[in-house]
Amino acid sequence: MDQTGIKIEDLHLSFGETQVLRGVNLDIRPGEFFAFLGPSGSGKSTLLRAIAGFGPTPQGRILIGDRDVVGLDPWKRNVGMVFQSYALWPHMSVRDNVGFGLRERRVPAKQIRDRVDAALDLVGLAHLADRMPNQLSGGQQQRIALARTVVVEPEVLLLDEPLSNLDASLRVQMRRELLHLQRKLGLTTIFVTHDQEEANTTSDRMAVLDGGVIQQIGTPQELYDRPANLFVANFLGTAN
């Protein structure tokens, strides 16, 4: 699969008078598992949503591959996003939930069946295709939400705290599964979390945000060894 990088140049975004992103620059490599880490309110979701095309139009540039997507409708960006509340449609079977995006794109029925089966296989839940969402555990619902997102073959995968509704032990397991899946697909992925442990154990590199500004970018090791400032040191718990 061709892999797509994401470049963000001098991105500013406000809600009315409130400046939320204040000059964000980022260069995410093709195939990278990249984390946005920061406290609640630091602008992680706003930044991710701006990449996906939701929310106010920012100033600056967002390049997905070599295409500046600022101002483009979300469905023209070829991104897949999984939200914190990964609500499946309650009245649709697992198979219909996962196939929804393909039906919207008018993919022929036979192909939909094959691609849905492949996506369900990928998350290990092919045997649950005919269940309804309320017959699934939280972890299973989350896997289905992932299958629903990757089945349309997005160029990049955007995950906004996708594991935060799960209990602690399941979260650790799902973290591993997510990384495994990302490696298998080679899909450029941004993973938003406020949990440093989660960012450390998954990401190739991460950006630490505070107040709508990136405080530091690097591998988990680099950030731990050489935090750029007191905020990063405190947030990662390396200050003493």
Residues at the interface with Mg ion (CB under 5 A): 45
Taking the C-alpha atoms of residue 89 and residue 61, their distance in angstroms, rounded to an integer, is 34
C-beta contacts of 15-22 below 8 A and 24+ residues apart: 15/56, 19/212, 20/46, 20/212, 21/46, 21/47, 21/50, 21/58, 21/212, 22/211, 22/212, 22/213
From candidates 2, 40, 168, 240, binder to ligand ADP by CB under 6 A: 40
From candidates 11, 28, 34, 46, binder to ligand ADP by CB under 6 A: 46
DSSP state for residue 29 in the 8-state scheme? P
Nearer to ligand ADP among residue 20 and residue 119 (C-beta): 20
Alpha helical stretches, state H, 59-131: 94-104, 109-122
Contact 77, 53 (CB under 8 A): yes
Binding segment (CB under 6 A) for ligand ADP, from list 38-46, 104-112, 143-151, 217-225: 38-46
DSSP state for residue 57 in the 8-state scheme? P
Quote the least distance from Cβ 91 to ligand ADP, whole Å: 28
CA angle 151, 152, 154 (to 5 degrees): 110
Binding segment (CB under 6 A) for ligand ADP, from list 44-52, 62-70, 85-93, 151-159: 44-52
CA angle 203, 180, 182 (to 5 degrees): 65
Contact between 171 and ligand ADP per CB under 6 A: no
Contact between 17 and ligand ADP per CB under 6 A: no
Strand, helix or coil for residue 32:
coil
Quote the least distance from Cβ 74 to ligand ADP, whole Å: 16
Contact between 45 and ligand ADP per CB under 6 A: yes
Nearer to Mg ion among residue 36 and residue 100 (C-beta): 36
Taking the C-alpha atoms of residue 158 and residue 219, their distance in angstroms, rounded to an integer, is 19
Contact between 18 and ligand ADP per CB under 6 A: yes
Contact between 23 and ligand ADP per CB under 6 A: no
Contact between 175 and ligand ADP per CB under 6 A: no
**What are the strands of the beta sheet with 59-64, ordered from one edge?**
18-28, 6-15, 59-64, 67-68
Strand, helix or coil for residue 159:
strand
Quote the least distance from Cβ 29 to ligand ADP, whole Å: 23
What, of Mg ion, ligand ADP, none, does residue 43 touch, CB below 5 to 8 Å by kind?
Answer: ligand ADP
Nearer to ligand ADP among residue 46 and residue 149 (C-beta): 46
**# chain residues binding ligand ADP, by CB under 6 A:** 11
Q: Which residues bind ligand ADP (CB under 6 A)?
A: 15, 18, 20, 38, 40-46
